[in-house]
Amino acid sequence: MNEVIILTCCKNIGLSGTTEIHVKEINGKFVARMGFAIMGSTQMDKAGFEAAEYNPFHDEFYDNYIEGIGDTQDAAIVALEADAENTANSFWF
């Protein structure tokens, strides 16, 4: 009998996204944001996320988010990924 083992790796343990990545141009720079939960916990409930349209730039969004700023959209997303890693590491170090 063949046995299948599935391994799931999480790069940023303790941090999970609650929104998609949103990118907005502000003052000539690109800003990327993504909402996240800490250890599965959020400050907003489903109704709150819906009211804020799951958008960390929305005025009614008050949950945690990571952010990256860059000269291009891609650079902003790379900076966001670095912020995610730094944030996740702060839970453990």
Structural domains of the chain, count: 1
pLDDT score, position 77: 94
Query: Residue 76 belongs to a domain with what CATH number?
Result: 3.30.160
Q: Angle CA(6)–CA(10)–CA(15) in degrees, nearest 5?
A: 140
Tell me whether residue 80 is in a domain: yes
Structural domain of 26: 15-90
Specify the pairing of strand 22-26 against strand 29-38: antiparallel
Tokens of 11: 């790069």
Q: What is the mean pLDDT of the chain?
A: 90
Of the pLDDT bands very low, low, confident and very high (cuts 50, 70, 90), residue 91 is confident
* Chain position carrying tokens 């909402």: 35
- Stated as kind and residue range, the H or E segment containing 88 is helix 73-90
